[in-house]
């Protein structure tokens, strides 16, 4: 049984009780992903599985056998930052930084969901094109708590990263 994490295969061995979060941190040494609550309530453990954001504390590593996981380490490096990472730095989208890897993985997932036209609870129209207004970003990022309350800067950072990404695509 194995998992691909940031492009590298990892064997899943050991206790079936191991959450994906503990597997990443303890078995693979990928400590960028954080444990806040361990109960799906804070979003610090958010990673992408097959491109979709999930709470890695509420799934077992063994259940993810064969899947592709992307953690913050796979999103960018200090020398080659993802536009989201650069925007978080520019806008001070954090204070202590503990929630930040989860925020960035979550934002990455959110952009893909919006590009696929997924509506949110605050979307007026279920079928329309998704425009990520500040209100939409707040609703879609509500699964990522920030104990330091950097929320408004997080929204600014995501908004800027979106515009640079669109600009890059043009």
What is the distance between the alpha carbons of residues 74 and 84, in angstroms, rounded to a whole number? Answer: 13
What is the distance between the alpha carbons of residues 74 and 46, in angstroms, rounded to a whole number? Answer: 13
Give the nearest distance from C-beta 140 to another protein in angstroms: 6
CA nearest neighbour of 139 among 127, 157, 151: 151
The option from another protein, ligand FES, ligand FAD, none interacting with 95 (CB < 5 to 8 A, set by class) reads ligand FES
Phi (first) and psi of residue 16, to 5 degrees: -65, -15
Q: Are 145 and 115 in contact (CB under 8 A)?
A: no
Is residue 146 at the binding interface for ligand FES, with CB under 6 A as the rule? yes
Query: Interface with ligand FES by CB under 6 A: which residues?
Result: 35-38, 40-45, 55, 57, 94-100, 146-148, 150
Query: Interface with another protein by CB under 8 A: which residues?
Result: 15-17, 19, 38-40, 43, 46, 52-55, 58-60, 62-63, 106, 109-110, 113, 116-121, 123, 126-127, 138-140, 142-143
């Amino acid at each position: 049984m194995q998992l691909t994490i940031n492009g590298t295969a990892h064997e899943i061995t050991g206790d079936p009780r191991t959450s994906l979060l503990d597997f990443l941190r303890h078995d693979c040494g990928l400590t960028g992903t954080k444990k806040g609550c361990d109960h799906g309530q804070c979003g610090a453990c958010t990673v992408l599985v097959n491109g979709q954001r999930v709470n890695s504390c509420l799934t077992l590593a063994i259940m993810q056998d064969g899947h592709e996981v992307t953690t913050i380490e796979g999103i960018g490096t200090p020398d080659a930052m993802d536009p989201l990472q650069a925007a978080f730095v520019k806008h001070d989208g954090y204070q202590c930084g503990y929630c930040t890897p989860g925020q960035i993985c979550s934002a990455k997932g959110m952009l893909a969901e919006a590009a696929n036209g997924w509506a949110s609870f605050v979307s007026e129209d279920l079928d329309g094109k998704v425009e990520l207004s500040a209100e939409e970003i707040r609703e879609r990022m509500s699964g990522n708590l920030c104990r330091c309350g950097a929320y408004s800067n997080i929204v600014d950072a995501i908004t800027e990263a979106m515009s640079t990404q669109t600009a890059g695509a043009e």
